[in-house]
Amino acid sequence: MQLNACVDIGQIEGGFVMGLGYFLSEDVIFDSSGRLISKNTYDYKPFSSMDISSKFNTRLMQNFPNTAKGSFLRSKATGEPPLVCSSAAHFAVRDAVHAAREDAGIDEDFHLATPATVE
C-alpha cells in the first residue's frame, strides 16, 4: 500500500517526462569561465503538457508489500526508475537516425550524444 496513489502516479509520470527532457532536449552549457549558464528555464525549455502525450498509462501494483527496513511508512522510490526507463527514447532516436543513414547509403559509424538535440 502506498502513502498516496496520486502522488506516486505523479512521481512516475514526472520522472519519465523529466528523463525525456534530459535525454532529448536539456543541454548543460558553460561559459568560457566555466560558469553554468543553462541553469534555469530562461536558458532552456523543459517539456510541458503540450509536448507529451495526453494518454499516459500508469498503473500501480496492488497488494505488493514493501518490507524494506529503514523506509518511511514503507514508502518506495517511484520517480527514479521511470527516469531511467525514459532512456529508451534516446535509443529510439539513435536507431531511427541509424536506419535513415543506412537507407541513404551512409555506412560510417556515428555517435549520438546525450541530449539528442537537433543541433
Question: Which three cell numbers, joined as nine digits, stand for 75?
Answer: 514508502
Distance CA 84, CA 11 (A): 13
Q: How many other C-beta atoms lie within 10 A of the C-beta of residue 45?
A: 11
Close Cβ partners of 1 (under 8 Å, ≥ 6 residues apart): 65, 74
Considering 13, 26, 80, 119, which one is annotated as catalytic?
Answer: 80
Straight-line distance from the first to the last Cα atom of the chain, in angstroms, rounded to the nearest whole number: 45
Say whether 80 is catalytic. Answer: yes
Residue 30: strand pairing partners: 36
Positions marked active-site: 80
